[in-house]
Amino acid sequence: MRISGGFMVTALVAAGFALYLTGRDAGSSIDAVTTVADELREEGVLGRALEVETARRMVTVMEGLLEFPESIPDHVDDLRIMAETAASWAAAAPPASRELHIAVSLRSAAGELRSHALRPSQSFLLRARRRLDQARSSLDGELEGDGVPEPHLVTDGLRDQLQNLEQAQREQQQQVDEALKR
């Protein structure tokens, strides 16, 4: 019995040590992903703090454009300004934050609507609708004032940063396409 009791104590100590090391490894991995997400910033964009009411108005305006997609080509300049505004919010937002998610969702929605203006397609409208729904959902959580932050994983912040950079590349291509269309 003494041998099995000693074995149990040794096994418990070993298991505790393994859990401790696993926890340290997970913590350092999370720190590394956070650092990478924070360093993935778009160059040349001046950051500004998210303006919640302006973001809400942007959602409302873009939802109105979705109701009348034939009017979207007449609002390309407005959509470009909305995308630039959202880009500045994304530049100032901390990684894995509601602010970043709202900014990236709005920027992507404006980009999808601009794409629709160039090459009308239902798929652009559906993607814009999905991104606006995401923005509205995050905005509603932002204004509830419940004091409980929406749970965000570090990987969500990394995904948002990557989507923001991808949208920046798309916008450059859209500018060229729009110039050629004129």
Please state the domain count of the chain. 1
- pLDDT tens digits, one per residue of 75-114: 999 999 999 999 999 999 988 889 999 999 999 999 999 9
C-alpha 133/C-alpha 152 separation (Å) is: 17
Q: Identify which has the larger pLDDT, 15 or 25.
A: 15
Has residue 21 been placed in a domain? no
Give the residue from 73, 67, 81, 84 showing the smallest Cα distance to 113: 73
Q: Identify which has the larger pLDDT, 171 or 43.
A: 171
Has residue 78 been placed in a domain? yes
Has residue 45 been placed in a domain? yes
- pLDDT tens digits, one per residue of 31-54: 555 555 555 666 778 889 999 999
Q: Looking at residues 132-144, what average pLDDT do you find? A: 82
Has residue 5 been placed in a domain? no
Amino acid 151: pLDDT: 45
Amino acid 144: pLDDT: 46
Q: Which domain holds residue 99?
A: 40-181
Has residue 28 been placed in a domain? no
Handedness of CA 97, 102, 105, 106 (dihedral sign): negative
